[in-house]
Amino acid sequence: MRRAFLGLLLAGLLLPVVPLALWAISGTWRYPDLLPSDVTTRGLHLLVDPRTRVLDGLVTSTVIGAAVASLACLIGFPAGRALGLYRFRGRRVVQFLLLAPVIVPGLAVALGIQVFFVRFGLSDTAVGVILVQLMPTVPYAATVFGAAFANLDVDYEQQARTLGAGPVRILLFVTVPLLRPAIVVAALLTFLISWSEYVLTLLVGGGQVKTLPLLLFASISSSDTTAAAALALLVVGPPLLLLIAAAPFLNGRSSAMVGVGRL
Amino acid sequence: MSGADVEVIEVSKHYGAVAAVDDVSLRLSPGSLTALLGPSGCGKSTTLSLVAGLHHPDSGDVCVDGGSILAVPAERRPVALVVQKPLLFPHLTVAQNVAFGLRMRRVDRRRRGQLVAEMLDRVQLPDLADRRVGELSGGQEQRVALARALVLKPRVLLLDEPFSQLDAGLRVQMRALVRRLHDESDVTTLFVTHDQGEALDVADTIALMLHGRLVGHDEPEAFYRRPPSLAAARFFGVTNELSGWVRGRSFAHRTGLVLPADLPDGAAVLVVRPESIEVVEHGGTETVAGTVIMARFAGTHIAVEVEIEAGETLDVHVPVGQNIAIGSRVHLRLPRHACTMFEAEARA
C-alpha cells in the first residue's frame, strides 16, 4: 500500500519529464508519430555551447540560489526561534508580517522596492536580485524554523549549559544538530524558490542578471523546441538531484521535527 | 578533588506573585548526600536550578566553598545536573554524549577517550560506547546521563528526580548506583525526590521542603522521632493527631490523657506514630482507653484502629501474634518520648 502510494507519487513527479526528455533529443517529431522519427544531440550540445551562455546561467542560478538559501535560513532561524519558543505580545502580528510577502503579490512589492534599489545602485546587479528574492523565501524559512523550534525541547540546551557549553557552542553543538532536518528542508525549499524565480529576477536584474528561468523563457518564445526542451531538462534536473541527496535527512522522525501539520 | 561545601543562604525566587522558593537556607557539608524531599510543586526543583545557575534568585546567595557563585554563569559552575528526562543528545553516540562536557572544556581527544571509557565502566555500560542513544533502555539512558555529568568531576552533583520515570525495581538498583558513585567520588550531592522511601534509602540527611519553605534539615530518623512541624509530620505519614490544650507545662486531652509538655499555654496538637503506641494491660499515666473498631493483618504488624472518644480514633500497629479482638476494650500507652507536640495552627 505504502509502496504503491510512493510509486504513484514518483510517477506524478517524473512522468511530465518524459516528453521533455523526448523533445530534447528529437530531430524531427511529427504528428501522428508516437516517438521522434530521428534522434539528435543538437539540443544537448547547445547547452554546453558557450554562445548560448547556458552554463553561465547555470552558475548564476546556483550562486544566487545558494546565497538566497543561506541568507533566508540565517534570517529565518532566529525569527523561527522567536515564533516557535516564545509567547510574546504581538506574536500573531509578527507572524502575519513574516508571511505577508507570500500573500501580497510579490510583483507589487518589488515595483515599490525597485525605486530604492535604483537609488542604491542595486538594480541590474546580482546582489539586488539576491536581496529581492529574500522576499518570497524568508517567510517559508521562518515558518519551517518556527515549527521546528516549537517542537524543540529546550531542556537539551539547558543540559548543555550545565555541561559547560556557552551560548555559541550550544548553538553549534546542540541546537543546529537537533534542527538539522529543518535546516535541510528550509535550505532546500528556499533554494528551489530562488531557482525558479522569474518575475523578480527580471524586474530587479533588468535582464542583466541571466538566471536559468530567464534563459528558458527566452528559449521557449523562440521556435526551437529541441533547444527549449533541453534547457528545461537542465532547469528540472538539479532540484531533483538535490531532493534525492536530501532524502536521507528527511525520514519520518525528522518530518515530525519539522512539524508538518503543526502550522 | 572532593566535594564542595555548599551554602544556600536565604534564597527566594518568585514567579509573579507566587514564591516558588521562599527564604530557603540550606547547608550541604563537603561530600554529603542530601535528599531534598517534598511534594511536587514545593519548590525543590527550582532550588536546584538556582544552585545550577539555570535561574537566578530574586534575593539571597549561593556559595561554594565560601565564595558566592551567583555571578558565575551556569556553564562555568563546578556543578553537574541530571534531571528526570535523560536528555541525551540524539545526534551523538553514547561515548560522544559522555564526552560532551569534556569537549566543551577542550580536553584533548586521547584523554577524553580514556576518561569516557573509565566512566562507562563505573556506570557498568562499557559495551555500549558506540551505540546510538535511541537504542538504550530507560535505565541505561539514566546511567549515561549520570556518566556524562560525573565524568567532569563536578564538586557538586544535583539530581532532580532522576529515576522517577523508571519502574520500581530498577529505581532501587539506580539508587544503589548513585550511592556507590557518590561514595567513590565523594561529590557533594543533592538529590531531589518526592518519595520519602527513596530519600530514606539513598541519603545521609533529608531536607524537607513544603510550599517553598525549608521545613527542616536533619538525619532521616529525626524526622520520624521529632518531626519539625505538624506539616512535616503529616508528610512523613503520621496519622495520629490529638488536639488538646496545654496549661502549666502539661498537655491535656479530653479523654483525660495528660502528658508533660514544654509549650506555652494554648491549643496544641500531639502527634504520635502508630508503631510507637503500645497496647498495655492496665491504665495508668501516659495511657488512654478505647475500643477496638478495626483490626487488619498487614504482614509485618496488625493495623488496629481504636476509638478513644466519639469520632476520634488512633491508629496503632500491634506486633503480629498479639490477640486483638474487635469490640474489646484496650489501654494504649503513648510514650512521652515518642510524642511530639505543636502549637495548634491559628484557624481563621
For the stretch A60-97, pLDDT in tens is: 999 999 999 999 999 999 999 999 998 888 888 988 88
pLDDT score of A69: 97
Residue in B52, B75, B85 nearest the CB of A164: B75
> Is residue B40 within 8 Å of residue B194, measured between CB atoms?
yes
Which residues of chain B are under the pLDDT cut of 50?
348
Cβ contact, residue pair A164, B90, below 8 Å: no
Length of chain B: 348
Which parts of chain B fold into alpha helices (H)? 44-52, 94-104, 109-122, 138-150, 168-185, 196-202, 220-225, 230-235
> Is residue B167 within 8 Å of residue B155, measured between CB atoms?
no
Query: What angle do the packed helices A225-246 and A17-25 form, to 10 degrees?
Result: 130
pLDDT score of A258: 45
pLDDT score of B6: 95
Place of cell 546565497: A67
Model confidence at A255: pLDDT above 70: no
> Is residue A160 within 8 Å of residue A203, measured between CB atoms?
no
- The mean per-residue pLDDT over the stretch A121-125 comes to 91
Q: Which residues of A touch B112 (CB under 8 A)?
A: none
CA gap B100, B89 in Å, rounded:
9
Per-residue confidence at A260, pLDDT binned at 50, 70, 90? very low
pLDDT score of A262: 34
pLDDT score of B346: 57
pLDDT score of B84: 92
Per-residue confidence at A6, pLDDT binned at 50, 70, 90? confident
* DSSP structural state of residue B5: P
Q: Does A38 touch chain B (CB under 8 A)?
A: no
Place of cell 532532580: B160
pLDDT score of A46: 84
Q: What is the pTM of this model?
A: 0.82
- The mean per-residue pLDDT over the stretch A109-113 comes to 86
pLDDT score of B194: 92
- The mean per-residue pLDDT over the stretch A221-248 comes to 85
Where does B194-333 show beta strands of DSSP type E? Answer: 205-210, 213-218, 240-247, 250-252, 258-260, 266-272, 278-280, 287-297, 301-309, 312-319, 329-333
Q: Mind listing the pLDDT tens digit for each residue in B116-141?
A: 999 999 999 989 999 999 889 999 99
Residue ranges of A 138-197 with Cβ closer than 8 A to chain B? 153, 155-156, 158-166, 169, 173-174, 177-178, 180
Cβ contact, residue pair B149, A169, below 8 Å: no
Cβ contact, residue pair A165, B75, below 8 Å: yes
Q: Which of B129, B146, B145, B137 is nearest to B94 (CA)?
A: B129
Cβ contact, residue pair B104, A180, below 8 Å: no
Q: Which of A160, A171, A29 is nearest to B97 (CA)?
A: A160
* DSSP structural state of residue B93: B
Cβ contact, residue pair B91, A161, below 8 Å: no
Structure ipTM over 0.90, yes or no: no
Residue in B85, B87, B101 nearest the CB of A164: B101
- Based on the number of CB atoms within 10 Å of its own CB, is B195 exposed (0-12), middle (13-18) or buried (19 or more)? middle
Q: Could you report how far apart the first and last alpha carbons of chain A are, in Å? A: 28
- The mean per-residue pLDDT over the stretch A123-140 comes to 93
Q: Are strands B205-210 and B240-247 parallel, antiparallel or unpaired?
A: unpaired
Tell me, rounded to whole angstroms, the distance of Cα B189 from its chain centroid: 13
Name the CA radius of gyration of chain B, rounded. 25
Q: What is the mean pLDDT of chain A?
A: 87
> Is residue B286 within 8 Å of residue B336, measured between CB atoms?
yes
Closest approach of chain B CAs to the CA of A176, in angstroms? 10
- Based on the number of CB atoms within 10 Å of its own CB, is A150 exposed (0-12), middle (13-18) or buried (19 or more)? middle
pLDDT score of A257: 44
How many Cβ contacts (< 8 angstroms) between chains A and B?
60
